Structure 1
């Protein structure tokens, strides 16, 4: 009797659409992060798309501070890593902090007293750059405290009161280290040394994750490029953390303009040398799914001693350097191995304000309901049909013919599903870069229906006055529906109403997919950086997660194959001399079925 009452109560909660509303306190998030994002000052100097990259987060006096490349020209502050407020530098330090109205790849670090900031200026005539600091960054109060040599992609690491810099960018720069006096920022004589030499010939690289700079873009299979990679990688974005007296030096490769942008980690017992590249690399990789890329990252601890990585993710629609920010949990196991948890890393993740296990909060069960679902719209531009907003691809989008209020997009979910959250990824179509700043906001309404005719409103953001380009709506209680509709109220910058993707998360009431049983792997004996995988198609799958790693208990790499018809993949990022272990999981709108691990 108790079970029957529970089922009836759950049914009443799910069906009471009129009672549904946005959760008062958001406990989950979804990548890319829903920041307002600045109108990037790209190399063409045209501010035609939102962008941010090369992030750094520091925790200072109980608050998080986020700094990003070519963004708002300031930084952001947060209490919980979910809700952010923009802050701007005081006028007295603009010349030190900014190149015109933005900055690029800064070094940022904090001790007990100050947050320190060093801009990587693009002015090559400068031999030195200013160091500024703030005891009150929440209110934008900064002062100059020294000068250091001009560096490309600098990282400032503070350890036991000593200040160290790491830097290097591109195919002709090594990763270099030096120490400074923490009081004057004068370089300590004799401390400069090279920690990692630059790559001169990509085909001499031991690891295939160096392949693909400006060659591979959004492809997840490298078959067409096997044996043809020629461009040297662009190692960049040094970052250092310390855990249990071990130092972890990261750098990003092969280049920011692709899905394969990743981080590589080297370990050492010393802060200034002896770093060894690890066999479990890349330490951070996000390939496949809605959005890819996980490079030029910052690893940091939150208030509860949890590790996180904030990272660059690639869009590249209106400009090749158009990017977004992602956030992933990080762990160090008992062997000291560092791991960034990116599996289904653009699905909802929990963000508990307490100590947690990263395995418990990532890909925790709200599955995607919207992939390739039939869609329709009030109007469409040629080449920008409604199907483009349901294809799980950040590099395609639907656009209506106008930005008028009342333009709408409808998705037929194909059956009744449970909806826990919705991510609305707005696109920029025919925006006016010169439109007043006051016009830069999204306003909309969200509806659900059982039949596509009778609609119930579940979200009203018609009064919203801020930009929410990757709006993520967590519902206070789930709702069941077969259709979902978004209706435009206002589009930013006089643009047209457009969506990269409308993504719906919850539970599809399906059986989990079948088990992948017939996995075979063929390691290329002539070039061990490649391996060919084939597997059997399984019933009920929406796609596959190709997992692999250097130990059977450490399958830290994952490539998401969205197409349920695809049953083969060429992996090109392996390391010569390392034996790998593989597993292919199947997933659908109701869960994941783990495969069986096989070894080479």
Structure 2
């Protein structure tokens, strides 16, 4: 079994892109407890509720004199930032000295206690929000979002791994157009000219302008900004609000512009239609100059993840890895404690022979390889390790009694919905949860996803950088310790992983086993969590089951609806769950551009709704092609027949 599985995995990868380790989404980083939830925005009514989350990531590759120094990820509410050498293992860095914080005029922030008053200016400031980052000439530049009336600081570091930064400019000024906020900024530089793009609104467009170098005043915004992108939900189906773009009569938000250049083409990406649901994604416009005019790319959105465990892939940036491969960062929606609770994702990406930028969301919440060379197709990175735990029976040492008509059963650790979670009745080292895979399978990796239930009190909020408060006592309490074990009979257990030698607060733990093991049962044992309740929303197990991959689905039909932004996709579903766990609807603007993926589960719809899905993200004026593949615990079918509609 082990040899044949290795052969399968190797056949999926270009020889130059082989890697010995894998990653998964959401990214496995130390998300910080930084957000205190106001009463009107939280899902769980509890005073003093705090949650860990991260959004709006920008990832840059840092080089000095052509030598790779590492990847750096900056994001909202990070209490600092993260560094990696391989896109897999990320270390959190707490900045020392000056730091890029988001300023507000006093009283703008309604949640008292979330800001600090600057004694020199009287302005309120809080942790960095929706930052811009740029690597240039061996240095990294960083700027946070700011509200009108604050100040716009540009920081620079030639050694971001050290946490040391200094001011490149302490006040760039504010725009005089649009909503007059420098929110969701992006930096771009070429030919000794700086540019900045910004915007986050359901009323205003996104903006762009130059940053000029003044002899006396230093860097300053050119006040002659121009609109670069405007939302058109009447034409672009993916810009419609609502779960699965079921329009709820709200105007869509567009935000988070980011610039990338390949050859003579400028790719300006942007996020929409809203970060509080499964359809959050990024679109792209192209141009031949940094400030346009910009043209909407036919293939859009460029990054998109509406189905599966991970929902959403919006407000990110485009970056190249050390091997020249393209990636998109992004935010995915969790929405456990409040509507804007998010994590971060990485999507393998590319620009095809026709200059079309795209990302693949196909199996990006399953393990995929970190490349050690140049890949030809982002889909090559998929490991072939399948989800073995979907809706499998689970049992626990104890379960908290239902609260306000909400239950916390152990079954929620396998339902692939992070908004459901198991909560133990007690928080101690005797608590565990076990998943029965219902047969011996080859287990290769485990993802352990903690949830936050009723985390209350200021003591759980990580200190703000620059506040003068030490993190030592905080870090000593807010860590997670676990053991992961497997068994063939549910009685004799073998430990396959633990993290007892670290003190990290990791919410989305991913463990690739050193060697594949044969097991029927997988168990998580709690050793320590630093909050009141032990809660887990996913014990996800990956590997392969004996047997055959499913056959390609048959009977595919596609009907373009009266509203041409939507199409009804139908097929003949498999009769047995054992033969098919789920389907990937793959679609795009041409037969050779099936870049979008919508994943659904085989048992997600029943009766007359089985074997059909309405896709509502289409462009009014484009034709589209569709195909479907099925997957189970053994592998993935060949892609079915392609059907195209005008």
- TM-score (normalizing by structure 2): 0.83
| Whole-angstrom CA distance in 2 between matches of 1:232 and 1:407 | 46
- 1:316-465 map, 5 Å: 316-381=335-400, 382=402, 383-433=407-457, 434=459, 437=474, 438-465=476-503
Aligned residues: 561
Q: CA deviation at 1:186?
A: 2.1
* 3-state SS in 2 of match to 1:71: coil
Q: 1:26 to 1:406 in 2, by over 3 A?
A: farther
Alignment partner of 1:160 out of 180, 191, 194: 191
Q: Is residue 530 of structure 1 aligned with residue 566 of structure 2?
A: yes
Segment drifting more, 431-440 vs 142-151? 431-440
Q: CA deviation at 1:512?
A: 1.2
Segment drifting more, 43-52 vs 94-103? 94-103
Q: Given that residues 110 and 158 in structure 1 are in contact (C-alpha distance below 8 angstroms), is that contact kept between their aligned partners in structure 2?
A: no
Q: Tell me the residue number matched to 1:3.
A: none
| Whole-angstrom CA distance in 2 between matches of 1:487 and 1:571 | 41
Q: Given that residues 582 and 597 in structure 1 are in contact (C-alpha distance below 8 angstroms), is that contact kept between their aligned partners in structure 2?
A: yes
Q: 1:445 to 1:88 in 2, by over 3 A?
A: closer
* 3-state SS in 2 of match to 1:388: helix
| Whole-angstrom CA distance in 1 between matches of 2:626 and 2:537 | 33
* 3-state SS in 2 of match to 1:64: strand
Q: What do residues 363-420 of structure 1 show as CA deviations (whole Å, max 9, x unaligned)?
A: 3301100000011111112301011000011111111111111101011101110011
Q: Is residue 521 of structure 1 aligned with residue 558 of structure 2?
A: yes
Q: Tell me the residue number matched to 2:77.
A: 70
Q: Given that residues 485 and 522 in structure 2 are in contact (C-alpha distance below 8 angstroms), is that contact kept between their aligned partners in structure 1?
A: yes
Q: Is residue 583 of structure 1 aligned with residue 627 of structure 2?
A: yes
Q: 1:557 to 1:160 in 2, by over 3 A?
A: same
| Whole-angstrom CA distance in 1 between matches of 2:100 and 2:552 | 58
Alignment partner of 1:51 out of 32, 49, 53: 53
Alignment partner of 2:504 out of 446, 454, 466: 466
Q: What do residues 130-172 of structure 1 show as CA deviations (whole Å, max 9, x unaligned)?
A: 2121122221222222222341111101123321111111112
| Whole-angstrom CA distance in 2 between matches of 1:94 and 1:286 | 30
Alignment partner of 1:148 out of 157, 160, 172: 172
Q: CA deviation at 1:501?
A: 0.6
Alignment partner of 2:221 out of 180, 187, 205: 187
| Whole-angstrom CA distance in 1 between matches of 2:101 and 2:564 | 50
Q: Tell me the residue number matched to 1:15.
A: none
Q: Is residue 546 of structure 1 aligned with residue 585 of structure 2?
A: yes
* 3-state SS in 1 of match to 2:71: strand
Q: Given that residues 100 and 144 in structure 2 are in contact (C-alpha distance below 8 angstroms), is that contact kept between their aligned partners in structure 1?
A: no
- 1:270-309 map, 5 Å: 270-309=289-328
Q: Is residue 211 of structure 1 aligned with residue 266 of structure 2?
A: no
| Whole-angstrom CA distance in 1 between matches of 2:2 and 2:611 | 42
Q: Given that residues 479 and 506 in structure 2 are in contact (C-alpha distance below 8 angstroms), is that contact kept between their aligned partners in structure 1?
A: yes
Q: Given that residues 161 and 182 in structure 1 are in contact (C-alpha distance below 8 angstroms), is that contact kept between their aligned partners in structure 2?
A: no
| Whole-angstrom CA distance in 2 between matches of 1:305 and 1:280 | 22
* 3-state SS in 2 of match to 1:209: helix
| Whole-angstrom CA distance in 2 between matches of 1:475 and 1:173 | 49
Structure 2 spans left out of the alignment, 5+ residues: 6-18, 40-47, 64-68, 104-115, 117-123, 175-181, 461-472
Q: 1:159 to 1:47 in 2, by over 3 A?
A: farther
* 3-state SS in 1 of match to 2:152: strand
Q: Is residue 490 of structure 1 aligned with residue 518 of structure 2?
A: no
Structure 1 spans left out of the alignment, 5+ residues: 1-6, 12-24
Q: CA deviation at 1:521?
A: 1.2
Q: CA deviation at 1:196?
A: 2.0
Q: CA deviation at 1:174?
A: 1.1
Q: Given that residues 314 and 324 in structure 1 are in contact (C-alpha distance below 8 angstroms), is that contact kept between their aligned partners in structure 2?
A: yes
Q: Given that residues 40 and 47 in structure 1 are in contact (C-alpha distance below 8 angstroms), is that contact kept between their aligned partners in structure 2?
A: no
| Whole-angstrom CA distance in 2 between matches of 1:31 and 1:185 | 38
* 3-state SS in 2 of match to 1:420: strand
Q: Given that residues 30 and 92 in structure 2 are in contact (C-alpha distance below 8 angstroms), is that contact kept between their aligned partners in structure 1?
A: no
Q: Given that residues 341 and 358 in structure 1 are in contact (C-alpha distance below 8 angstroms), is that contact kept between their aligned partners in structure 2?
A: no
Q: CA deviation at 1:482?
A: 0.7
Q: Is residue 503 of structure 1 aligned with residue 503 of structure 2?
A: no
- TM-score (normalizing by structure 1): 0.89
Alignment partner of 2:207 out of 166, 171, 176: 176
Q: Given that residues 368 and 503 in structure 1 are in contact (C-alpha distance below 8 angstroms), is that contact kept between their aligned partners in structure 2?
A: yes
Q: Is residue 254 of structure 1 aligned with residue 273 of structure 2?
A: yes
* 3-state SS in 2 of match to 1:149: coil
Q: Given that residues 416 and 538 in structure 2 are in contact (C-alpha distance below 8 angstroms), is that contact kept between their aligned partners in structure 1?
A: yes
| Whole-angstrom CA distance in 2 between matches of 1:537 and 1:334 | 35
Q: CA deviation at 1:43?
A: 5.2
Alignment partner of 2:97 out of 71, 78, 91: 91
| Whole-angstrom CA distance in 1 between matches of 2:207 and 2:60 | 22
Q: 1:322 to 1:567 in 2, by over 3 A?
A: same
| Whole-angstrom CA distance in 1 between matches of 2:558 and 2:102 | 54
| Whole-angstrom CA distance in 2 between matches of 1:8 and 1:38 | 38
Q: Given that residues 514 and 538 in structure 1 are in contact (C-alpha distance below 8 angstroms), is that contact kept between their aligned partners in structure 2?
A: no
| Whole-angstrom CA distance in 2 between matches of 1:558 and 1:236 | 23
Q: Tell me the residue number matched to 1:559.
A: 598
Query: Cα RMSD between the aligned structures?
Result: 2.2
Alignment partner of 2:22 out of 18, 28, 41: 28
Q: Given that residues 103 and 121 in structure 1 are in contact (C-alpha distance below 8 angstroms), is that contact kept between their aligned partners in structure 2?
A: no
Alignment partner of 1:108 out of 133, 148, 159: 133
| Whole-angstrom CA distance in 2 between matches of 1:579 and 1:96 | 43
Q: Given that residues 56 and 68 in structure 1 are in contact (C-alpha distance below 8 angstroms), is that contact kept between their aligned partners in structure 2?
A: yes
Q: CA deviation at 1:431?
A: 3.1
Q: Tell me the residue number matched to 1:597.
A: 642
